[in-house]
Structure 1
Amino acid sequence: MSGRDHASYPGSRVLLPLDTARQCFTYLVTGPEPLSVDGRAFSGLPNRPVPLDELRDRMLRRRFPRHTRDAVWAHLVQRSRTEGATWTLACTGMALPALAGIARRLAARYPGDAFDAHAEVLSGFLTALADIDLRRPRVLVRLRWAAYRSGGAALAEALDAPPPIAPDSFRSTPPKPPWGHPDLVLARAVRLGVLTRTEADLIGSTRLDEDSLADWAAAHQMSAEAAYKARKRAEHRLIDFVRERVRDTDPGDPVAYSVTVNSSPDASPQTPAPSRSVTAVGGGGRGDTAEKPSVRVSKTGSKSGLLRCGGSPPPALDPSSSEVPRCA
C-alpha cells in the first residue's frame, strides 16, 4: 500500500470512499494476472504488459513524457466507457494520488462528515470520466479539476448552512465566506446572483482550466469577440463583489489580497480605490461618483485579468487561435 494514495485519517475506523477504491484497485493489480496495459502501444513504456500499479508509479515521475501520460489516460478512460466497471475502478485507482490530496484538503475544512467530502470528490471524478474530451491534452488535470469543483461546491454549501445550536447556548455566528480557492469564489458569486452560471463557466474554463477563449466561444455558439467582452464584464462585477465582501475574510487570504491591493499596478497604497456595490441601493449607486474604479480586468497590461495572466487582446480574434495565456 502506497502512502500517497491513502485517504483515511489517523485513528479513524470509518472506511472512506477513497479507501474502498484503493482496496479494490489493490485487488486488480495483485495475483498472477494483474490488470495491465500493453506497453508496446505507448512510447516511453517497456515492451511488455505493464501492471497498472507500476504504470501509475511511472507516470508520477516528473520526467515521464507528458504526451505519453495523456495517451495512456485517453486509453484508460476509453476502456472505462466501453468495458465498464473494472476499468472505471482502474481509472479511479490510477487517479488516487490526486483525488486523495483533494479529499484531505476539503475534509479538513468540512463541517460535516469527512465521508461526504470524499463521496463528492469521487462523484465529480466519475461524472467527468463519462464525458471529458479525450482529444484535448492534460486529461488527468481536467479530471482532477472536476473532482475539486464537485467537492468544493459541497464544501461551500455546507459552510453556508446555519451552524447547529448547542443545547446550553444560543450564540451563533455565520461562517466566513470560503475565499480560499477561485472555484469557491465563483460558486458563491453564482449563488448570490453576481454571475450567471454561464459567466462562471466562462471565467473558470478560460482562466483556471486549459480552455482557450476561442474554443469556449465555439462550444457555446458565439463569437470569440463576444465571449471576450462577456468575460470582461463578468470579471468587473466579480471584482466589485470580492472587494465589497473582503472585510469578512481572513486578512491573509491570497485571493482577496490580490484583488483588493494588487489588482491595479498603478494603485497608490496610501489612497485606496473607491469601492462599488454590485447593485445600486436606495437610488444612489454608481451615479453618485464620477470616478471609475482603479481595478481593471480588461487585458491592457502584463498583470491584468482576474488571475493576473492577461495580455493585450488581438484586434480581431481568430476562432482557431488561443489568445489566453495559460495561468498554470
Structure 2
Amino acid sequence: MSANTRLAAGQLAEHPGARPGAPLLDAIEYRFRLAAEGPQPQAVDGRHLGHGLPQRRIALPELSAILMHPSCGAAAQDAVWRFLVAQARTGAERWIVGAVGVALPGLRHRAHLLAKLSSGDLHAALVEAFLKALHKVDIDQPGIVNALLNAAFSGARAALREQEPAASGEGNFAPGSALLPAPYGHPDLVLARAVRLGVLTTADADLIGATYLEDVSVTAYAQRSGLPHWRVYKRRTAAVQRLVAAIRAGILSDPTADVIAEATLRTALEPTSGDR
C-alpha cells in the first residue's frame, strides 16, 4: 500500500468534531454529513446526470439514499458513479471524501462480511483498497459501484491476510511453520472468474451477487433494473444453472469455487416460488 494512499485514508477521518477513537467509517460519515450542512452543501446536479434522478441539486447524503432505493435503476447508479469517480480522480479531497461517503452503505456491508473472515483494522483496510480502486475501476463498464466495492473487499482481505501472524498447528509441527491459507475466498472473486471465462455475463454476475450475496430480493432487483419480476427470476435461474454446471465440471477450478458453490447450490434447490 503506497504511503500516499494510506495518508489519504487517514485524512478522510480528520476533523476536530469527530469522536476520538471512533471506527474509521463512523468518522468518515461524520465528516461526510458535515459537508452537506450549510447554505452550499456538497452536491451533484441531477439535471446534468439524468436517468430519472431529481432535476435539481442533490446533496451527497441524499444522493446516497437515492442510490440505495429499489426504484433507482442501474443506469442512474452508473451515471452517478461515473461522475463521482471522475471528480475523485482530480485529487480534490472533498470529492474523495464524497465518493467514500456515498459508498458507505456498501462499505459497511463489506466490513460486516470481512469481519467473518479476518481480524485487524477492517475499516482502514477497506478504505485504503477503495481509494486505490477509484483510480483503477473501468468507468466505461456497467456496475461501477459493485466493481469498486468488490475491489475494496478483495484488496482489504489480501492486506489483512498479510498482517496475520503465522499460525502453527496439526498441519505442520515445525517451529515457526505456518498453515496454508484457507482454501476459499470471497464469492465475488468466483463470479468475476466466471465472467472472465464467459460462463456468465457481467449482468448475470451482478444479479447473482445482489440477490444471493447481498440480500437483495428479486422483486427489489427487478424494480431497480426496470425489468419484469418473472424475467429477472428466469434469468437468475439460468445463470445459476450455468455457474453450478461450470463448478461441477471444473471449469472454474479455483479454491474460491467452494464458497460460491455452497451459496448457489443451496439456493438453487429452493422452491422456485420463493422470492429472495
Q: TM-score range by the shorter chain?
A: 0.5 to 0.7
State the shift of 1:97 in Å: 0.3
Answer yes or no: is 1:139 the counterpart of 2:147. no
Answer yes or no: is 1:21 the counterpart of 2:13. no
**Residues of 1 paired with 2:143 and 2:52: CA distance?**
17
Match of 1:36 in 2: 43
Secondary structure of the 2:153 match is helix
Q: How does 1:108-123 map to 2 (within 5 A)?
A: 108-111=116-119, 113=120, 115=121, 117-123=122-128
Normalization by structure 2: what TM-score? 0.58
Answer yes or no: is the 8 Å Cα contact 1:37–1:51 preserved in 2: yes
Letter in 2 for 1:210: T
For residues 127-159 of structure 1, the C-alpha deviation after alignment (integer angstroms, 9 at most, x for no partner) is 110121111111101101111111221344456
Secondary structure of the 1:82 match is coil
Answer yes or no: is the 8 Å Cα contact 2:29–2:101 preserved in 1: yes
Give the unaligned 5+ runs of structure 1.
Answer: 1-12, 165-169, 187-200, 213-231, 247-253, 263-302, 304-328
Q: How does 1:40-189 map to 2 (within 5 A)?
A: 40-41=47-48, 42-82=50-90, 84-111=92-119, 113=120, 115=121, 117-158=122-163, 161-162=166-167, 174=179, 177=182, 179=184, 181-182=186-187
**Residues of 1 paired with 2:165 and 2:203: CA distance?**
30
Give the unaligned 5+ runs of structure 2.
Answer: 1-19, 170-174, 205-245, 269-276
Secondary structure of the 2:58 match is strand
- Of residues 210, 219, 238 in structure 1, which corresponds to 2:202? 210
Change (3 A) 1:96 1:177: same
Q: Considering only CA atoms, is the larger Rg found in Structure 1 or Structure 2?
A: 1
Number of paired residues? 197
Q: Which has the higher helix share?
A: 2
**Residues of 2 paired with 1:153 and 1:183: CA distance?**
14
Q: For the aligned residues, what is the CA RMSD?
A: 4.0
**Residues of 2 paired with 1:126 and 1:208: CA distance?**
28
Answer yes or no: is the 8 Å Cα contact 2:194–2:252 preserved in 1: no
Normalization by structure 1: what TM-score? 0.50
Tell me the percent identity.
31
State the shift of 1:32 in Å: 1.8
Secondary structure of the 2:71 match is coil
State the shift of 1:238 in Å: 6.6
State the shift of 1:240 in Å: 8.1
State the shift of 1:91 in Å: 0.3
Change (3 A) 1:242 1:29: closer
Query: Relative contact order, CA 8 A, sep 6+: which one is greater?
Result: 2
Answer yes or no: is the 8 Å Cα contact 2:185–2:255 preserved in 1: no
Letter in 2 for 1:95: A
